[in-house]
Structure 1
């Protein structure tokens, strides 16, 4: 049985002291024997951690004691080996770089669509208002090549900072449609949905991203695997490293 717990989580919340928080979280993570990456910025925190379950979960629980991080939710998966080589804790200008400082998910989120709702819309070919549903992939092109939702729009961007220009150019074609942005864990589509709405698009974000969809719905309407930024490379819809598990058929 796989023994290494992998956790990903992010939260847009105002952090006035990212440098001080970096020191605290680094000491806690190292003391717990964890490996991975924690990014901290004034807009929030983004983390990927791996280790023994009895070390990872208490670390998250202690983080949630801080009122700023009480709403933090995690996505879990398992692996046979440690997918990270070291523990890195960094302070960044943004926890996901978009270069549009007016996009502030910590102030107000775009509406989210639950995985179960999205699957039903895709099953039925329309949303609850009878409108066409369009999926927009906010990930980089090489990530999309590992797997994507069937029929999703892919602008072949090489980095997320290119998303705003691509979205602005496509906005007129998305008018009158229900647009759902998605990404690996939810962090990019948080900013993407806000940007699209400011461009006049009726946009929503997939709550929990692809990994949240896999966890709650499975592989329905998904083709391929999902690239992840660690040593596992990609996960199947069963949330297992694709090199060690057969890919389940989409429901």
Structure 2
């Protein structure tokens, strides 16, 4: 995969996507969003890839926000379309992938960067990470899912505070609020994500995809998450992975998914 703004490294059963715009602190512009969509789409269709890690190049930033120069003069219609298309091709797209996505948050994750990290299925941060949604300081609101995903992760009150003050929080604060799962030193960030990926890889990708669908359903308007869980639980019974998993358990051996 050859891209201008991202680098994709594929190992045996995992892949790392690195946003590579170091002179812009990896800010998201239209081309980068399009390339990320293409990379996630290709990796999702590759059944050998069981986990995707998303990170930023360098030690300063995961993604320091959106590229403001691209939309500073947009009209209402253009702004609406910018948010709608971003949701469709990247942020909602990542959240609903059946392949698990881990965000390795190194340095600043601000605005669209934090929104991208929150679209991943969970997050690990380096100790120097700083996170926030500074959009109201620019006279706009988070437009890539920030007003929805942040309250789901940290609670309504804390999300309101973060959005209204436009303030950044530290990695340790993010862990305290449930925004990230782990905080490690920068050099340990990718190794820990790869260790977590190796634990995921040992399990059934089919079952994991069903679990992602069921968990996400609880956060979808007018969808009963319990009903989706029941449906996906039942569907699991006709999969080869269920047959292999239960047979291996009864035969007291490790499953071969």
Shorter-chain TM band = under 0.3
**TM-score between both structures, scaled by the size of structure 1:** 0.24
- Greater strand share, structure number: 1
Larger RCO (alpha carbons 8 Å, 6+ apart):
1
